[in-house]
Amino acid sequence: GQNIDQPTEMTATEGAIVQINCTYQTSGFNGLFWYQQHAGEAPTFLSYNVLDGLEEKGRFSSFLSRSKGYSYLLLKELQMKDSASYLCAVRRNYGGATNKLIFGTGTLLAVQP
């Protein structure tokens, strides 16, 4: 089977740091993505991890531990515009060139003044 878990909601303060966790259980793991989605809009790509470790991109960083089935997205210097849903998605390989993305339910982040 396959399962992706992330918190439903989180609240943080403008200027602070927040960490959004994602745990997964799947066979054929072939990478993990984080997307940001504002309400009623398209998800936009934030980060991609396929090897263990931390990937940093400006205010956003993403970490992966394949042995633990765990990832987190770290947002620094929070801004009001960071209020959005954050989607964790695991790419699963089904053999050969067939890959599919499995999405978590998303974490709704509210940034408060």
Partner 1 sequence: DGGITQSPKYLFRKEGQNVTLSCEQNLNHDAMYWYRQDPGQGLRLIYYSQIVNDFQKGDIAEGYSVSREKKESFPLTVTSAQKNPTAFYLCASRQPGQGNEKLFFGSGTQLSVL
Which chain residues interact with partner 1 by CB under 8 A?
4, 8, 31, 33, 35, 40-45, 48, 50, 87, 89, 91, 97, 99-106
- CB closer to partner 1, 78 vs 106: 106
Among residues 6, 20, 55, 32, which one has the least CA distance to residue 102?
A: 32
Minimum distance of partner 1 from residue 80's CB (angstroms): 21
- CB closer to partner 1, 43 vs 69: 43
Minimum distance of partner 1 from residue 15's CB (angstroms): 29
- CB closer to partner 1, 38 vs 59: 38
